[in-house]
């Protein structure tokens, strides 16, 4: 029980990495707030968390709206009276050639992936300062480390998340608040499945073929499960990592080591 009696907010908890993190945190004793725009899927996560023995609430939240993020934090305080851990995981992907990318595309990806992470931090930091402790884990991506074709805007936001986490790690160290990011490689979630579909349609080849290509990118030659990323998030959220702040952990199956 690495998170016994800890209170955690997990954004983007309806599916994928966020859902796996919510279930793992429940098994480790955390009480959670699950935040997402997808109420139906989030309520399925609520059930899975409760089945795993966890206490949880769902707060419908669009992380790109500051007012929603503020409400997410307030509801968590009303329910549990403290926030020990914030996992800024909600994100959207954009795979498009630069010249076809519209202003709306840019605004959407920036507002969820960058502003959403920042708002989460902004509204949690004052409470963590008051408590004298806290941990923030932001989900970035390999796209923030390496250049990927058709990923300029997405990669830009993820590079921004790595830089933001580093800066906040430095800013908040004296308040006993640790801030780090995790950069996953290819993880088998609805997001990646969606990417594969888009790419297959664009190139007129099968989804299986695109999936095989993606798998070849990592030296382990397979995708990660969402649970493998959740374990990294747990590590950074728990007292197992008390000497890590302002850092980024790559969980990418060796993709960027090549
Ligand atoms: N799957 C991968 O291969 C991969 C690789 C690197 C990084 N990531 C990152 O991991 C994180 C989780 O992604 P995933 O792969 O589990 O995808 P996913 O699509 O399964 O999960 C993302 C979740 O975020 C939610 N979300 C989207 N916009 C939101 C908003 N405005 N407000 C609140 N919630 C919102 C979605 O509803 C969804 O539940 C993302 O930040 C993503 O960029 C994923």
Residue of 9, 10, 11, 12 to mutate, ligand 1, most atoms within 8 A of C-beta: 12
Q: Which two tokens stand for residue 223?
A: 């995708």
> Is 235 noted as a catalytic residue in this protein?
no
What are the boundaries of each domain within the chain?
7-187+228-252, 189-223
For the beta carbon of residue 199, count every other beta carbon within 10 angstroms. 18
Closest CA to 150 of 97, 214, 217, 197: 97
Q: What is the pLDDT of residues 3-37, one digit of tens each?
A: 999 999 999 999 999 999 999 999 999 999 999 99
Residue 202 confidence (pLDDT) above 90:
no
Average pLDDT over all residues of the chain? 97
Residues 7-187+228-252: name the CATH superfamily: NAD(P)-binding Rossmann-like Domain (3.40.50.720)
- For 44, the token pair is 């399925």
Q: Which of 80, 154, 235, 243 is catalytic?
A: 154
Per-residue pLDDT band at 146 (split at 50, 70, 90)? very high
Indicate the pLDDT class of residue 216, thresholds 50, 70 and 90: confident
pLDDT digits (tens, 9 = 90+) for 64-87: 999 999 999 999 999 999 999 999
pLDDT over 90 at 143, yes or no: yes
Instruction: Give distance in angstroms: CA of 174 to centre of ligand 1.
Output: 31
Pocket of ligand 1 (CB under 6 A): 11-12, 14-18, 36-38, 61-64, 89-93, 112, 116, 139, 141, 184, 186-187, 189-192
Nearest residue (by CA) to ligand 1, atom 31, is 62
Q: How far is the CA of 90 from the centre of ligand 1 (A)?
A: 5
| Sequence-ordered strand ranges (E) for 26-133 | 31-36, 55-60, 85-88
Instruction: State residue 241's pLDDT score.
Output: 98
Mean pLDDT across 147-172: 98
Residue 225: closest CA among 5, 20, 14, 8 = 20
- Which pLDDT value is given to residue 43? 98
């Amino acid at each position: 029980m690495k998170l016994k009696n800890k209170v955690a907010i997990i954004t983007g908890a309806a599916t994928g990495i966020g859902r796996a993190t919510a279930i793992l945190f429940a098994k480790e004793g955390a009480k959670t707030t699950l935040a997402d725009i997808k109420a139906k899927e989030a309520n399925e996560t609520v059930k899975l968390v409760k089945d795993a023995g966890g206490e949880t609430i769902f707060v419908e939240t669009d992380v790109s709206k500051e007012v929603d993020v503020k409400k997410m934090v307030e509801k968590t305080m009303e329910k549990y009276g403290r926030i020990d851990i914030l996992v800024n995981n909600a994100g959207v992907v954009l795979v498009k050639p630069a010249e076809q990318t519209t202003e709306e595309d840019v605004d959407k990806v920036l507002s969820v992936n960058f502003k959403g992470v920042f708002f989460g931090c902004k509204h949690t930091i004052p409470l963590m300062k008051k408590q004298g402790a806290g941990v923030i884990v932001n989900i970035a991506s390999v796209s923030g480390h390496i250049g990927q074709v058709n990923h300029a805007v997405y990669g830009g936001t993820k590079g921004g998340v790595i830089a933001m986490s580093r800066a906040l790690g430095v800013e908040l160290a004296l308040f006993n608040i640790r801030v780090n990011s995790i950069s996953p490689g290819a993880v088998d979630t609805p997001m990646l499945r969606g990417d594969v579909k888009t790419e297959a349609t664009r190139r007129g080849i099968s989804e299986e073929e695109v999936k095989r290509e993606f798998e070849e990118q990592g030296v382990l030659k397979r995708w990660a499960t969402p649970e493998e990323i959740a374990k990294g998030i747990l590590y950074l959220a728990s007292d197992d990592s008390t000497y890590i702040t302002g850092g980024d952990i790559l969980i990418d199956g060796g993709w960027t080591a090549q």
